[in-house]
Chain A
Amino acid sequence: MKLLVVEDDRETAVYLAKGLSESGYTVDRASDGREGLFLATGGSYDAIVLDRMLPSMDGLAMLGALRAAGISTPALILSALGSVDDRVKGLRAGGDDYLVKPFAFSELLARLEALLRRGAVTAATTKLRVGDLELDLLTRTVRRRDKPIEVLPREFRLLEYLMRNAGHVVTRTMLLEHVWDYHFDPQTNVIDVHVSRLRQKIDKSFDSPLLHTVRGAGYCIRAPEPSAPR
């Protein structure tokens, strides 16, 4: 997987490149908007990590030029501006996700993975499967080993989001944004309790747990090792 990091602050850029390389990505760096646009139009990247405020060409302008040139490489915008308004502007300009600085590296990694997977899940999918857990998007029902599981509407959406990102870490902030549409982090561990309730329903009466807590990062739903396809 090849990534392009467009960031003018050298220290942040080096830190991002190092972290991403260690996570198994190949990383190219650009330090301003023009260079970023040049690299992005030439190279074939799987995703772009883009700082919003850049010298010579603003991040949003660069993204606009890129999209106008018909290049739809998924882009994650990094910005110090965190209001909902700024976020909406960034997403309208062609960004696929928006992360407010400062951020935890694990958060960036989780979002980047979600972004890279986005194309993989086809829109025609009506059923999501993880191990023996099955979620039907049409009938809005959940079954495990053919045994129906009662879930609340919000729990259904929570499970859906986790299952769409099966095998990958999903952070609490991502859950708040995508399941509750809350763009701030409450001081109370509200998400943890929701996840543990969901876990009660899908894992309690089964011997192999699917929903795991990843310390310091978030949650991950994945099939147990023996039956995993890979």
Chain B
Amino acid sequence: MSETVSAWQLIASGDATLFSIVRLSLSVSLAAATIAVIVGLPLGAFLALARFPGRSAIVVVLNGFMGLPPVVVGLTVYLLLSRSGPLGELGLLFTPAAMVIAQSLLVLPIIAALTRQTIEDLWLEYREELTAMGVGPAGQVATLLWDGRFSLVTALLAGFGRAAAEVGTVMIVGGNIDGFTRTMTTTIALETSKGNLPLAMGLGLVLIVLILLINAAAWGVRLWSERRAG
């Protein structure tokens, strides 16, 4: 990454390093958000509908974990994946896979907690009607998930945004290796520490624009599908 060249020049010239960094950032965060959805959506739906002793405590903890400090998650995963740690055999430390794992853990509470809130609110509203129509538990969950789709997509975007924006986790478990585990956020941190502030800021703006574009695309999809089905 050249020193005095501005970020916009790099974009305009199609700089290969910049694009591979962007690609890595997006794929790591998207993968993490996807995993978080696959695990968190059913978990949140279950917590919304099930009643069992200790449920309130779990809900409180889940809500609290939305604010997990990324560095703490990073450090925990680092200790787990280190060769000296319990999962060292997997050899995952300092790879993109480790970054995906760590970010999934970061994003999971957000997806699960927001899903729980959405589904629970919806259930209060729908419960009698669904019961009157004789809908079974599986059917109720499916109906609530589909009818809550807009709020759930917002939760997904919140989770993705959290992943794309954080630096503490990916720095620790990824190691910021040039050409391998260097993301936009770790590059910004690196360029800042090298005193390349204009370049760092430019990259920061690129990152923000990317996140805005993804959110705009999601909004567009929502408008289109709302027009179709409400």
**A and B interact physically:** no
Q: Which residues of A contact B (CB under 8 A)?
A: none
Q: Which residues of B contact A (CB under 8 A)?
A: none
